[in-house]
Amino acid sequence: MRPGAVAVVFDDKKENVLLVKRRDVPIWVLPGGGIDPGESPDVAAVREVQEESGLEVRVVRQVAVYSPTGKLTSETHLFECCIVGGQTCISSESTDVGFFPVDKYPPPIFEVHNGWLKDTCANRPELIEKPVEGLNWSNLLKMIVQHPMLATRFLLMKLGVPWNSK
């Protein structure tokens, strides 16, 4: 799997965070995606936010670099970003976009995103470097039991079977 870039975008008061509801697996996530060949992680994060939400952002800081822990994960770069323009809108990659309280957002959400949001809110001065946490077979099994259709779509996507419900 290619490396990824994820953005945490707060509102002006840093009370709410931007989430997008994916089109391929209808689950709420922080905006992000794969880094294109020759693209830097920060540029990828900015591009992904615009593609998925309609918002134009700039990177405030890099929060973390997460190393892969198995076949379900890849190297992931996490950035805190601020809004510089645009308006929220859905796209070919999202079915809904919105800001939600940092401590309470709509289910279902991938557990790994909870950790990324917590790492961002910790506001550490140094770059966090650690393995990806929360995206493992145990949590996937839990999701299969709680949300069988979502889990099936996620697994098909990971196997390279395109599924984009437009």
- Does this model's pTM top 0.85? no
Q: Which of 39, 38, 83 is nearest to 57 (CA)?
A: 83
3 state DSSP class of 108: coil
Q: Is residue 164 part of a domain?
A: no
Q: How far apart are CA 124 and CA 136, in angstroms?
A: 25
Residue 96 maps to a domain: yes
CA neighbor of 166 nearest in space, from 26, 15, 29: 26
What pLDDT, on the 0 to 100 scale, is given for residue 71? 72
Query: Which residues form the domain of 48?
Result: 4-158
Task: Please indicate, yes or no, if residue 144 is contained in any of the structural domains.
Answer: yes
Q: Return per-residue pLDDT of the chain as tens, 166 residues.
A: 789 999 999 999 999 999 999 887 788 899 999 999 999 999 999 999 999 999 999 999 999 999 988 776 789 999 999 999 999 999 998 999 999 999 887 877 777 888 999 999 999 999 999 988 766 666 666 666 665 666 666 666 656 666 555 4
Tell me if 45 is assigned to some domain. Answer: yes
User: Is 75 among the domain residues?
Assistant: yes
Would residue 165 count as lying in a domain? Answer: no
Q: Say what the pLDDT of residue 99 is.
A: 97
- Look at residue 166 in the predicted model and tell me its pLDDT: 47
Question: For the domain that residue 103 is a member of, what is the CATH number?
Answer: 3.90.79.10
Residue 145 lies in a domain: yes
Residue (of 80, 24, 89) closest to 57 by Cα position:
80
The verdict on residue 40 lying in a domain is yes
Q: What is the pLDDT, as a whole number, of residue 157?
A: 62
3-class DSSP state of 22: strand
Domains identified in the chain, total number: 1
